[in-house]
Every structure is written in C-alpha cells, then in structure tokens.
C-alpha cells in the first residue's frame, strides 16, 4: 500500500486564499446581484507594459522560423536577461552581484518553498508573525515542524511577533536560529526596513552562521531613497543571504510568470561532516534536475523591463498602484480606522474596528458592502485583529470600495 507524506496532514484545512475564494464564491452564488470588489489577493489588474508585450510578440514570431526557433533554454535563465538584472537591479545600487549568481524562475512563491530542498531537517527556523503563509506551509510540508497549537503556531518554528507596538519590525532573537525569513516591503503589513535594521540582521546572521531568506518581491514600490531595495546593499550580506525577486508586482507578470533568485557564490552552509558547502552549487544542481527553465518568450518580455521604454512604463504602473494605496490609506484613516502600511508598499494593514476578529470583519465587509480583503489572522496568530487590503485593482474599484467601507464603518 502506498503511503503519503503525513506532514501535509498537519496543515490547516485550506490555504488562506482558497478559503477566501470559497467564502466569496458561496456569497456570490447566494447573492448573484452583488457587485463584489476584490481587494484581497495581491494579483495585479492593469495590462502588461507595452514594451514587454512588443518583445513577447517578436519572440513568438522568432519561434515560427527555424533559424531563430528556441527549444530548451538554460535552466538558470538566458545570460542576456541575467546580465541586465545584475547591472540594473544590483550593481547600479552598489550591490556586488554577478549575472552568474542569478537564477531565473517562474515565481518567487515557488522559489521560497523550493529553496528548502537544499537545506537539512535540523535547522532552527525563524519567521515573523504575521507572515506570508507560504514560508510556514512549505516548512510544514518539508517536515521541518511539529503540529500546530490552538493559535495555529507550529512546533519547531521560532515566531517573531510584529504589531503596532513594535512598528511591525521584529526584534532580532536572542537565541540562535539557522534560517530566517524576512520580507521587505513587508507582506502583509506594508512595513519597510532601514539600512541600519537590515545591517543588524546581517551581523546577527554572520555571527550565528545563519542564512537569511530575503523576499524583495515588492522592492519596486520603495520611493524613499534611504530605504534599501536589496539585502545586498548591506555590508556582509553576500556571506549570509539569499534574495528572491519577482516580475509579478512591478511588471504585471502574475499570469505570465517570471522571477529570480540570487545565490551568491560566496555563500556556504555546513554539511553533516562539518565541511563548508557552496549553496550556489546545490541550488544549481536542484534547478538543473527539477526545473526546465522559463520560456524564451517570457524571458524576452522580462528583458524589455530594462529598456528605456520598459523602465518608464514600469514606473507608471507602480505609481498607479501606489496611488491606489494612498487612496485606501487616506480614506480609511479619515473614517477613523487605524491604518498602517500603504507607503513604499502596495498593501494597507488595518486594525479591525469595534473589537471584530479578522474573519468577522472579512464576513462583515463581504456581506454588507461586498468588498473582499484578507483576514490578518490568516497570516499568523499575531495578525488577529488586523486586515489586509490590496492596492491591486482599478482606480474605479478602489474608489468605490473605499466609499462603501467608509460609509458603513466610520468610527
């Protein structure tokens, strides 16, 4: 008789976003006349930039000619894309990252889970609370945790609470941890990290032989020049950090899929016999075995992001969503709600009014004003009593949703 991976049985009944979809679908079926506005998941709504579309169309045409047809590409990604990423995203900011250290993939969500393949089972793992659920769930699936308690906290994880009391910035642990998940600008709270704060984490990681998993999927939304876009802008990060980035939230590639992971060749971890092993070699071996690479067409579209036209169009796209975030933040604040984030980030983190729980507020918003957000408790126990609203939608929908909410929930 075949057996299963019992670690999956430790997971909650449903991943956060499918559970949201289930509730919304049930409400929509029961109320077909309701005009539902979805500000829950972080899915973009605006068209792909023209520069990317043009490049993809040209690439499709190339696929129709034997002379320019492309079959299997390099698993690590085409050099012409990696070189542009290295030059414009990292070297231009003083981060010493070479194109050979960049791996093109189909999503940072995938990579933040898949990276666990190259790490052992005896690591002590730290996550912030609230946290992007993928970090926790993939560790559960990999067998790195015990069971969850009544608050949903899993044995074997070190939780670092973040709330308004500490400005949504986790304190560096006093105990030793081996793997550390950091996300800035933060999903779900919208918080950002100063250079000094990240330097403290890098110093901690180097002192303890730890590895930082740095999720920079939302770095394009940083407008404050004092805030780092990459962990590699911090001295010493090449010796202790892996960075994840995505084309989804800056260039609208949520449906076309393209991302990247940076693994410096100077980064090592310990084998069972105590020897130092280069993580670049392990990740390269993992990707070469389990991944066939991102399509040529999509990578040409991603390359166009770094053209002069692409940069201007990306900036306009990001500014559009930042303006949405500003509308959400200002409208909810004016209604008397406690609001955080929404500056240098596309997410607004709201304190639920009148003592409502996160899911109670979700249901109330859905049922009374037909607006969908994300319950904070879905991101962890410390997210209870908070609610995430995404700026990814049309201007009309954002303005309509804010009008509905503020009229109903004015404090």
**Average of per-residue pLDDT across 296-322:** 98
Percent of the chain with pLDDT over 90: 95
Cα–Cα distance between 287 and 193 in angstroms, integer? 30
Cα–Cα distance between 52 and 256 in angstroms, integer? 11
- Is the distance from CB of 196 to CB of 234 less than 8 angstroms? no
**Average of per-residue pLDDT across 280-304:** 98
Say which residue the tokens 């997210």 belong to. 383
Judged on CB neighbours under 10 Å (0-12, 13-18, 19+), 65 is exposed
At residue 404, the 3 state secondary structure works out as helix
The model's pLDDT over 239-289, given as tens digits with 9 standing for 90+, comes to 999 999 999 999 999 999 999 999 999 999 999 999 999 999 999 999 999
Q: What is the pLDDT of residue 17?
A: 79
Per the model's pLDDT, the better-predicted residue between 19 and 237 turns out to be 237
**pTM over the 0.85 mark:** yes
Say which residue the tokens 């990423």 belong to. 85
Q: 309-313: long-range contacts at Cβ-Cβ below 8 A with a sequence spacing of 24 or more?
A: 309/50, 309/51, 310/49, 310/51, 310/52, 310/251, 313/49, 313/50, 313/51, 313/52
Residue 25 has pLDDT above 80, yes or no: yes
User: 409 pLDDT band (50/70/90 cuts)?
Assistant: confident
The model's pLDDT over 47-79, given as tens digits with 9 standing for 90+, comes to 999 999 999 999 999 999 999 999 999 999 999
The model's pLDDT over 378-402, given as tens digits with 9 standing for 90+, comes to 999 999 999 999 999 999 999 999 9
User: 13 pLDDT band (50/70/90 cuts)?
Assistant: low
Look up residue 310 and give its DSSP letter: H
Q: What is the pLDDT of residue 253?
A: 97
Q: What is the pLDDT of residue 15?
A: 66
Here the tokens at position 239 are 């010796």
Q: What is the pLDDT of residue 58?
A: 98
Q: What is the pLDDT of residue 183?
A: 98
Sequence-separated (6 or more) residues with CB below 8 Å from residue 151: 381
Q: Is 342 left (phi over 0), alpha (psi -120 to 50) or beta?
A: left
**Average of per-residue pLDDT across 6-20:** 83
**Average of per-residue pLDDT across 150-154:** 89
Per the model's pLDDT, the better-predicted residue between 78 and 43 turns out to be 78
The model's pLDDT over 164-188, given as tens digits with 9 standing for 90+, comes to 999 999 999 999 999 999 999 999 9
Here the tokens at position 48 are 């792909």
Q: Which residues pair with 38 in a beta bridge?
A: 372
Q: What is the pLDDT of residue 12?
A: 77
DSSP labels for 233-298?
A: GSTTGGGTEEEEEESHHHH-TTTT--EEEE--TT-EEE-TTS-EEEHHHHHHHHHHHH-----HHH
The model's pLDDT over 121-136, given as tens digits with 9 standing for 90+, comes to 999 999 999 999 999 9
Judged on CB neighbours under 10 Å (0-12, 13-18, 19+), 186 is buried
**Average of per-residue pLDDT across 4-29:** 88
Helix, strand, coil % (nearest 5) of the chain?
45, 15, 40
Q: What is the residue-averaged pLDDT of the chain?
A: 96
Among 97, 100, 43, smallest CA distance to 76 is for 100
Residue 411 has pLDDT above 80, yes or no: no
Cα–Cα distance between 338 and 48 in angstroms, integer? 34
Q: What Cα–Cα distance (Å) separates residue 277 from each residue in 26, 121, 157, 273?
A: 51, 16, 24, 11
Say which residue the tokens 């090592």 belong to. 268
At residue 166, the 3 state secondary structure works out as helix
Residue 408 has pLDDT above 90, yes or no: no
Residue 137 has pLDDT above 90, yes or no: yes
Residue 3 has pLDDT above 90, yes or no: yes
Q: What is the pLDDT of residue 64?
A: 98
Cα–Cα distance between 266 and 279 in angstroms, integer? 8
The beta strand positions in 37-124, using DSSP E, are 37-38, 102-105
């Amino acid at each position: 008789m075949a057996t299963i991976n019992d670690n999956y049985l430790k997971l909650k009944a449903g991943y956060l976003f499918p559970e949201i979809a289930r509730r919304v679908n049930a409400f929509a079926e029961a109320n077909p006349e309701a005009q539902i506005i979805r500000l829950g998941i972080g899915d973009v709504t605006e068209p792909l930039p023209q520069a990317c579309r043009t490049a993809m169309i040209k690439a499709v045409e190339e696929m129709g000619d034997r002379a320019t047809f492309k079959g299997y590409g390099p698993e690590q990604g085409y050099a012409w894309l990696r070189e542009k990423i290295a030059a414009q995203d990292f070297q231009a900011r003083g981060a010493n990252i070479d194109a050979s250290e960049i791996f093109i993939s189909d999503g940072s969500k995938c990579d933040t889970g898949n990276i666990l393949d190259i790490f052992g089972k005896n690591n002590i793992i730290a996550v912030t609370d609230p946290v992007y659920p993928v970090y926790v769930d993939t560790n559960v699936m990999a067998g790195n945790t015990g069971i969850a308690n009544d608050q949903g906290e899993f044995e074997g994880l070190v939780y670092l609470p973040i709330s308004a009391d500490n400005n949504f910035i986790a304190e560096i642990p006093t105990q030793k941890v081996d793997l550390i998940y950091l996300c800035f600008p933060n999903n779900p709270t919208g918080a950002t990290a100063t250079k000094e704060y990240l330097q403290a984490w890098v110093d901690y990681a180097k002192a303890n032989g730890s590895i930082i998993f740095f999720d920079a999927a939302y770095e394009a939304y940083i407008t404050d020049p004092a805030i780092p876009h990459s962990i590699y802008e911090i001295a010493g990060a090449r010796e202790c950090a892996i960075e994840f980035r995505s084309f989804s939230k800056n260039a609208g590639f949520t449906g076309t899929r393209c991302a990247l992971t940076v693994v410096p060749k100077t980064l090592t971890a310990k084998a069972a016999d105590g020897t130092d092993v280069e993580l670049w070699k392990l990740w390269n071996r993992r990707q070469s075995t389990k991944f066939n690479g991102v399509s040529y067409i999509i990578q040409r579209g991603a390359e166009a992001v770094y053209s002069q036209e692409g940069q201007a169009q990306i900036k306009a796209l990001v500014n559009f969503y930042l303006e949405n975030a500003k509308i959400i933040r200002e409208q909810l604040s004016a209604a008397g709600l406690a609001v955080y984030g929404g500056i240098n980030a596309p997410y607004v983190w709201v304190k639920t009014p009148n003592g409502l729980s996160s899911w109670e507020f979700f249901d109330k918003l859905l049922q009374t004003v037909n607006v969908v957000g994300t319950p904070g408790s879905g991101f962890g126990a410390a997210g209870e009593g908070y609610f995430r609203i995404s700026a990814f939608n049309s201007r009309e929908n954002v303005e309509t949703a804010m009008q509905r909410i503020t009229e109903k929930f004015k404090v």
